[in-house]
Each structure stands twice: as structure tokens, then as C-alpha cells.
């Protein structure tokens, strides 16, 4: 049995894909600036990287507003419950064609591992990239900001670490997209908003779990 669930709303999909495009483009230009290869030429790469950065800042302003006003931010509240079950699924159950122990819904669209990963990106990788990137953009103002003792090397190294973490996330993310009910189930969900989820008997036995997950911590019940 396959059930269709509406998970990702219009703005969310727009946010995801435009952010994805910007981040890929910024990795492409960023690693050129870093000296890893030559593609656009340093001058153009810096220009494009900066424009993309400002665009992403604009996008984030809208995204933050959306998350706050709709309450969608709650999807990133971490939970340790069932983390091990989900981890176990990806490390063994998936090979035995067991159903996914987590069933996404509008109220609870991320499994506990996703919650932890996205929160990690939000709390660690993004701030690292944003703060160092912002400092990089305003290098000329450091003295007037009282940051004369700051060294570009520290900022650049921090920015590079953030970029590598983002790259690692990006690679894993691309792969995990294929681990849905079918290979294209997840990506279809992010395009159309509708996720196909398996609702076999095996999944039904997990229903209690799913319910308990969706009940907390802001369950409308």
C-alpha cells in the first residue's frame, strides 16, 4: 500500500531549491577562490560568490520570517527518541527491505536523524560560514569595527572548514535523497510537495511509534 502525504509547502520548496542552487554555486565559486581549481577566473569567482551570498541573505530573511510566523521552526527541535531505531534502519533494516520506522507527516516532516543533522547544520555549520563570510565581505571595515587584531587567516580558515562541512553534508544529502520508498520518492516530494509513504502491515506495527513522535513536543492534541 502506498499513501500520499502533503509534506512540503510551496514556499518551503521554493526556499529549498533556490537555496540548493545558491549553495552549489557558492561551493563552485568558493573552492575556486580557495585555489582548488580555475573555472571563472578569480575576479569573476569573487564577484559571483559575493552576489550569491547577498542573494542567500535575502532568501534567508524570507525563510526565517516564514519559519517563525508559521511555526515551522518546530520541525528542527531535536529529539533523541527513536534516533537509534532510525539509525539501525539505515545501517541494516534498509538492506532487509524493512519499512522505514518513521512516517513523515505535515506535523512532523523530519525523522529524528534528520532533525539532528539539520539542527547541526543550522547551529554549527551555517553560523560558521555566515559569520566568517560576513567578516570576509567587510574585511575593509575591520579596523573601524575595532577588529584590527583579527587575522584574515583565521577567518579564511574558519570559512574553509565550514565549506568542507557543507560539502560533506551536500554529498550525503544527495545520496540520502535516494533512500525513500522508491529512489525518486524523496525528490518528487521536494518538487511536488507530496511524499509517497509505504503503509504496509509492517509499517502499521510502527504506528504507535509514529504517533508518539508526532505527538511531541508540540502536538496539537
Q: Which of 1, 10, 69, 97 binds another protein (CB under 8 A)?
A: 97
CB 218 within 8 A of CB 19: no
Instruction: Work out how close the CB of 7 gets to another protein at its nearest, in angstroms, rounded to a whole number.
Output: 23
Cα-based distances in Å from 70 to 4, 63, 123, 157, 197: 23, 10, 20, 36, 24
Nearer to another protein, 93 or 193 (CB): 93
List the one residue out of 128, 140, 102, 112 whose CA is nearest residue 5: 102
Return the H-helix or E-strand segment holding 3.
strand 2-6
Angle CA(11)–CA(20)–CA(164) in degrees, nearest 5?
Answer: 140
User: Under the criterion CB under 8 A, does residue 34 sit at the interface with another protein?
Assistant: yes
Nearer to another protein, 19 or 50 (CB): 50
Q: Rounded to an integer, what distance in angstroms lies between the CA atom of residue 103 and that of residue 205?
A: 12
Measured in degrees and rounded to the nearest 5, phi and psi for residue 193 equal: 95, -20
Beta-carbon contacts of residue 150 (< 8 Å; ≥ 6 apart):
135, 142
Instruction: Work out how close the CB of 143 gets to another protein at its nearest, in angstroms, rounded to a whole number.
Output: 8
Q: Which of 160, 193, 194, 199 binds another protein (CB under 8 A)?
A: 160
- The stretch among 12-20, 56-64, 124-132, 164-172 that binds another protein (CB under 8 A) is 164-172
Instruction: Work out how close the CB of 3 gets to another protein at its nearest, in angstroms, rounded to a whole number.
Output: 22
User: Under the criterion CB under 8 A, does residue 147 sit at the interface with another protein?
Assistant: no
Q: Which residues bind another protein (CB under 8 A)?
A: 33-35, 38, 41-43, 46, 50, 90, 94-97, 139-140, 143, 151-153, 156-157, 160-161, 163-165, 167-169, 171-172, 174-176, 178-179
Amino acid at each position: 500500500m502506498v499513501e500520499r502525504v502533503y509534506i512540503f509547502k510551496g514556499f518551503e520548496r521554493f526556499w529549498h531549491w533556490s537555496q540548493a542552487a545558491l549553495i552549489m554555486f557558492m561551493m563552485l565559486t568558493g573552492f575556486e577562490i580557495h585555489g582548488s581549481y580555475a573555472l571563472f577566473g578569480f575576479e569573476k569567482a569573487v564577484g559571483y560568490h559575493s552576489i550569491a551570498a547577498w542573494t542567500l541573505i535575502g532568501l534567508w530573511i524570507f525563510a526565517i520570517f516564514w519559519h517563525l510566523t508559521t511555526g515551522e521552526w518546530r520541525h528542527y527541535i531535536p529529539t533523541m527518541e527513536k534516533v537509534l531505531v532510525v539509525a539501525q534502519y539505515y545501517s541494516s533494516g534498509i538492506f532487509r527491505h524493512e519499512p522505514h520506522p518513521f512516517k513523515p507527516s505535515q506535523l512532523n516532516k523530519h525523522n529524528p536523524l534528520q532533525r539532528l543533522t539539520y539542527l547541526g547544520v543550522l547551529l554549527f555549520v551555517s553560523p560558521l560560514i555566515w559569520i566568517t563570510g560576513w567578516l570576509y565581505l567587510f574585511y575593509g571595515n575591520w579596523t573601524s569595527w575595532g577588529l584590527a587584531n583579527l587575522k584574515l587567516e583565521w577567518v579564511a580558515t574558519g570559512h574553509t572548514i565550514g565549506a568542507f562541512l557543507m560539502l560533506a553534508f551536500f554529498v550525503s544529502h544527495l545520496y540520502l535523497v535516494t533512500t525513500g520508498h522508491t529512489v525518486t520518492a524523496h525528490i518528487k516530494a521536494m518538487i511536488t510537495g507530496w511524499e509517497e509513504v509505504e503503509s504496509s502491515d509492517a509499517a502499521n506495527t510502527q504506528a504507535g511509534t509514529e504517533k508518539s513522535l508526532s505527538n511531541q513536543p508540540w502536538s496539537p492534541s
